[in-house]
Copies of this chain bind each other. A is one copy, B any other.
Amino acid sequence: MNYYGEVVARLIEELSRLPGIGPKSAQRIAFHILNLPREKAFDLANTITEARKTVKYCQVCQNLADADPCHICEDEARDRGMIMVVEDPRAMAAYEKTREFKGLYHILHGAISPLHGISPAEIKIKELLTRLGGEELHEVVIATNPTIEGEATAMYLSRLIKPLEIKVTRIAHGVPVGGDLEYVDEATLARALDGRREL
């Protein structure tokens, strides 16, 4: 049933297709937008249009950026000897926030998942391989998510890259900093024990 009129119903429907937004949130957001000053609502719409128009994949690291190559790939100050492989731009942003990694990134845009029908050909692995020829490169850090799909992708990449005589590493699994052991799951505790280091 349409209690609001056709345009409002359409707005609610379009919003409810966004990830993490159910029909109730979509209603709430729709009425928020309708109550915004006109310019604010138009700004939002224009930003969506502009972003979708201008943002492209960086042909080097596959990040979504408004420049190609993106500003990280272009940055002369970064260490061209290391590439960190992540599943998505959010993971890259998370590592950038740490300021601990000075190398380059490669964004796969997904992970291998036979269950969801995602094969290695469907994520940006081919594009990664073309980057491995450079003289300077000496290490690929695999920072896919600690999930079944992320681990499978890490294994797959390691088997693919090791024969090229490039060091392949995986970020450590263990107990999160600041966490309480009581609330850490068993798999993580086991991995933490397994990965123990001498002090």
Q: A: which residues have CB within 8 A of B? A: 1, 3-8, 10-11, 14-15, 18-21, 25, 27-36, 38, 41-55, 63-67, 70-71, 88-90, 92-93, 96-97
B52 lies within 8 A of A33 (CB): yes
Number of copies of this kind of chain in the complex? 2
Given A10-B47, A11-B47, A18-B29 in contact, is the A5-B67 Cβ separation under 8 Å? yes
Contacts A14-B47, A45-B48, A48-B48 known; 12 new A-B pairs at CB < 8 A: A3-B93, A4-B93, A5-B70, A7-B55, A11-B51, A14-B43, A18-B29, A28-B90, A31-B64, A31-B89, A33-B51, A41-B52
Docked-complex contact A29 and B38, CB < 8 angstroms: no
In the complex, which residues of chain B have a beta carbon less than 8 angstroms from the beta carbon of A64?
Answer: 4, 8, 31, 34-35
Residues of B within 8 A of A46 (CB): 45
22 contacts between A and B (CB under 8 A): A1-B96, A4-B63, A4-B93, A5-B70, A7-B54, A7-B55, A8-B66, A11-B48, A14-B47, A15-B44, A18-B29, A18-B32, A18-B33, A19-B28, A21-B29, A30-B51, A33-B51, A34-B52, A38-B52, A38-B53, A45-B45, A45-B46
